[in-house]
Amino acid sequence: MDFLWVLLWMAIVAVLLCNLLAWTYPHYLLRYEFPFAICQRIIARLTENTFFMALRLDYIAWKLGFSNRHTVTRFFMNGLPIFKQDPRLHIKKLQFDGVPVKQYQPREDHTKHQRGILFFHGGIGIWCSTDTYERVCRYLARESASFVVSVAYRLAPEHPYPAQFEDCLKATIHLLKNAKEYGVDPDCILVGGDSSGATLAAAVCQELVKRTDLPKVRAQILLHPFLQAVDFNLPSYQQNAFNLLISKHMLLEIGLKYRRKYSVQAAMKGSHVPDDIRIKWKTWINPDHIPKRFKSRGYKPAPPTPFPPKVLEQSNEFFETTVSPLLAEDDIISQLPETYILTCEYDVLRDDGLLYKKRLEDAGVGVTWEHLEDAFHGVVIVLEIPVFPFSCATRKLDFVVKFIKGLHVSGESSLAGGVKAFTKGGGGI
């Protein structure tokens, strides 16, 4: 009898999954594009379908009262757990000034003091965790021989903005103050992140330039960052509006709306910014600053749209520099540390990175820039997962490792750090 019950439940689950697939797949075939030039298209399509099925299942479970909102998606985004220990790393959970973190430290010290890296995970402030980026942080620590700290900042909507920024800032300050206790060179601490984690990294670095009581951050690492909530009609937003994993609508509907109620439609059209403020920011956020080669896939300048005054009260939080670091004043930008920026062609956020690159270079800040022509947003989180072996994910992190190894710690010889990746105004768009 027990065997029959097991068969029955297996049949029910199979039927539910088939119905879920039948509901999900046509929806995305009709609405979402799949670029031909994307790396490993079959695996990318499988990744996309898995992600969107998780979103659908999350919605169903929430509506039926089986779970809280985002519970299922968070479970899927955490990925396959790693049960195998890495003999080359010492990994443990700690707290930095009350903020949970996970430490990855090479067992063999190549220098007296190692580089320190604060890493902030992505997930638009709602999803993902240190578990999602476990493979990424292991890779960075192992390959660059650095002390890596992955910060488990609080997630929305349970913890509304700016809780995420506050946690990342507290953890960074703790490491800057106590670097030597962890075997880290206080003059070689990097702050970085992926996607919304890169937003947090940029915001933290801007906040820290105001502090004279702490060691200076050596460099910031921004992997396809979100940097402005002013113009959602830049070329990359138009070209990749319906691309896989993160679309323009998803970014606005989920990634920003959790901060405060506002009009998604107004932001889609670009009518959420007053004309006088738009003119002020046009110096920094302007499609004319995007090189022509990035406009070749059918970009059309967006027509002007009227601004309803009531929208400003709903959306003015998006213009704070902790949300839109690209809007920081020149005196802050000019003091920022050496910067690494990575952009992907098939990513709505591509142009945010390009615009920040220009702002930093114009302010005299050294920039190393890499661009992946065949990659999409978020590809790094599937690094080294057996089912999703993306070569572009490894290439992406290899670029980062090269940059990190070019930053020499105290007492390290010029050859020990590998090839120096710093290039003033790097990348040469």
Is residue 179 within 8 Å of 185, Cβ to Cβ? Answer: yes
Residue 195 annotated among the catalytic residues of the structure: yes
Q: At 340, which amino acid appears? A: Y
Q: What does the alpha-carbon distance between residue 128 and residue 359 come to, in Å, rounded to a whole number? A: 30
Contacts of 10 (CB under 8 A, 6+ apart): none
Q: What does the alpha-carbon distance between residue 16 and residue 42 come to, in Å, rounded to a whole number? A: 24
Choice among 224, 371, 377, 408 that is catalytic: 377
| Distance, C-alpha 3 to centroid of its chain | 46
What does residue 87 show for φ and ψ, rounded to 5 degrees?
A: -65, -15
Residue 377 annotated among the catalytic residues of the structure: yes
Residue 347 annotated among the catalytic residues of the structure: yes
Choice among 347, 351, 352, 374 that is catalytic: 347
Q: What does the alpha-carbon distance between residue 249 and residue 370 come to, in Å, rounded to a whole number? A: 26
Choice among 129, 195, 236, 324 that is catalytic: 195
- Just list the catalytic residues: 195, 347, 377
